[in-house]
Chain A
């Protein structure tokens, strides 16, 4: 397992290294796509996402990187969900790429169909992305997604994981974490919020399909995210990337905290950043400054009850999950953090 991901050039003399979006002291090749003046802005201004929406941010990060990687030859199929609704209220669109709205549950299948059509037409230069929310991916779209993996269709599927059905009013999905309040998992009773030991990890399930590439990424670590999208676009066959995208509305967090919350989710161990090829784990992004899960939870009203003394057992359960992740994925080196 490589200790330092390629995305994080370790430049000792350069003030911020590659932690910031750009860095005037770095060579152009080590700067991010987002730092360039000519990025494609695939998802442009005027969309109707809430203030500080992590999904809107993550989508521009990912699609701009994919555009760069494919020389702007890209088509996207998009499941129903916030990302579709806030970008394309008829007749306006915030997308500056060829983009098609599928149904809620069949983005993977539509993507597979586009890929097949392009193949039939001999347009191998044009690449395909299918994307959707966690509801559209882990629940209703799961059959289509598994089929796409199974057939190894030449599609990159991006799941924007905001851990619930946000567009319809914050209902629980199979990506909702234990303890979280949603409209359908209210904080009542002795185990308030979403039940523990339910749900699924689609990245691990994707790995079990032995597809060429699986990764998780977060909006707080742009270089890591761009590196993974770029890598995925350099591979043919079925690929899966899950982006962690905080939702201020659904999580009850400050719009200005979106990036911070992503950072804390990763730094506390609850959201491991990993890479896998053909079913084998090939990389993890190490924790740099570990924090207890409480630091992450306290910024979100969906977890407010977890921090009450009466529910200390829930806090313990969440910390135990983080600890398990840290151990399982070796998120912390023996000697300490990443640097």
Chain B
């Protein structure tokens, strides 16, 4: 080898020097579980559909929701969005407006008539009792898996409490109808006006291979109120059902509603819309402990609903309602004081919740009922093999989304049951907490506020009160998402490595470490905005 004067070695590249041997810890890419996904009762992959929305890929984003939840347009209106409560961005400025984006996508699907397809036929038949969100979600997922499904419901229309409980001004019926129709188009057979009284007989008669029960909680709870006189005392569930059926509701004059939950608020707000002179909600709990959601209480008050907290209705004399004052206590419930006052009423509505009509299951051998709810295993199966249950009838949060989550989980387990296998849920990734993020990198961006109908128009009819956000705002809101725990290709790791030990694989392909050279400094982990890299000890 000929080298110039005074040079004894050929020049070589530093690439010969494998600095990877210095390392005691190695960075690895991983997908962590974002808290929004974790909190969604229907198990939606929110981070992923926001990611797609950011790029304007609305149809793909919608399909991503549909993998878990067949009701995006309903969700975007009635879901209490626990995802937003746990959204990491809430600790930076304000939570991402996940629910508003979901509604935008749900409505886009209805406008563009996006449709999902049924799976290849399996020849198995499933009977679903109850066309509420739980039953319909199960039917949808079972159709996607290719099973034949018949859904029976005693009511004239599908939707369960979403139709006969939740008032129109929060849940316009045409959206619900359209999302139900999509499930029917997938081949689910809906048998309305059909009450099932004997589940096993119906199953055998219809030659069904499995059953999913989601009959909800329909029986109004009541407390005994001594009534001297003629003052009507009604039940919230019935009042709301009649509102839906456009039957006389009995809401008139000075309406007093008893209860502190969302149902009480819904009745009071319906009364305002039906032209009642006043609507007063008598609440057992202190204001801050009311079970109703804060935003609903706020909206109700804007519409003129009055609240009287820490009161119990004791008796009714003529049109005078006697209230006993209560005081908060250390224990769970406020305590009576022996001090009374009266208010005037033309009608009292009890809104104290509903019980499950358990006589339907009493005849099925093996099913256990405890504390008024049907007991199921982690596979959603009751004590009777092949009979599964979910929604409000089992111990649960009693929300639309929880019921939908039950429907999905039940469908997966029914599918496994029909195939003679057991369903193993994929192992969950570790949760991303706020301290795993490097929030320096996120642009400051305030949350988009959804338009609201004016109070005047709210008081005079059942028009939907919360407006849609437009496409720009939906995209903007999606882009506020920090993509917790899931790489969004920001190139930071590729950029900040002092050793050029990260390979960029190209759009959509993510990155790869060159472990031959990575010294294990951990800069990529520190500077990854979303916590999608972690250091793990090197085996030495």
Which residues of A line the B interface, CB within 8 A? 11-17, 19-25, 31-32, 34-35, 37, 41, 43-49, 51-54, 56-57, 60, 87, 90-94, 222, 248, 254-260, 263, 289, 339
Contacts and interface: CB of A to CB of B under 8 A. Distances in A.
Given A45-B517, A259-B523, A21 B488 contact: no
Contact of B10 (A11, A60, A91, A255): A91
Contact of B476 (A12, A20, A31, A56): A12
Nearest to B501: A45
B513 to A, nearest CB: 11
Interface residues on B, range: 35 or more
B445 interface: yes
B495 interface: yes
B476 to A, nearest CB: 5
B306 to A, nearest CB: 41
B498 interface: yes
A13 B476 contact: yes
A94 B443 contact: no
A87 B19 CA distance: 12
B521 A21 contact: no
Given A15-B442, A15-B488, A256-B525, A51 B17 contact: no
11 contacts: A12-B445, A13-B472, A19-B440, A22-B490, A25-B55, A45-B517, A46-B17, A46-B18, A47-B14, A47-B17, A256-B521
A25 B54 contact: yes
Interface of B: 7, 9-19, 22, 54-55, 440-445, 472, 475-476, 479-481, 483, 488-492, 494-501, 504, 506-507, 514, 516-517, 519-523, 525-527, 529
B487 to A, nearest CB: 10
B527 A259 contact: yes
B526 A257 contact: yes
A16 B443 contact: yes
A291 B523 CA distance: 21
A259 B526 contact: yes
A13 B14 contact: no
A260 B499 contact: no
B17 A92 contact: yes
Tell me what chain B mostly uses at the interface: helix, strand, loop, or mixed.
loop
Contacts of B481: 15
Contacts of A259: 496, 523, 526-527
Nearest to B528: A20
A20 B14 contact: no
Contacts of A263: 440
A56 B16 CA distance: 18
B21 to A, nearest CB: 11
Contact of A35 (B17, B440, B494): B494
Contact of A93 (B7, B13, B498): B13
A16 B529 CA distance: 9
A46 B13 contact: yes
A45 B494 contact: no
A22 B488 CA distance: 10
A44 B523 contact: no
B13 A92 contact: yes
A154 B499 CA distance: 30
Contact of A44 (B11, B15, B444, B527): B15
Given A51-B521, A53-B498, A20 B441 contact: yes
B443 A17 contact: yes
Of A16, A23, A93, chain B has the most CB atoms within 10 Å of the CB of: A16
B19 A45 contact: yes
A312 B14 CA distance: 46
Given A47-B14, A256-B526, A57 B496 contact: yes
Contact of A21 (B440, B476, B494): B494
Given A15-B481, A45-B19, A52-B498, 15 more contacts: A15-B483, A15-B488, A17-B443, A21-B495, A21-B496, A25-B479, A31-B491, A41-B500, A45-B14, A45-B501, A48-B17, A57-B498, A93-B14, A222-B495, A257-B526
B445 A46 contact: no
A46 B495 contact: no
Given A15-B54, A56-B499, A20 B522 contact: no
B12 A91 contact: yes
Contacts of B525: 256
Nearest to A256: B522
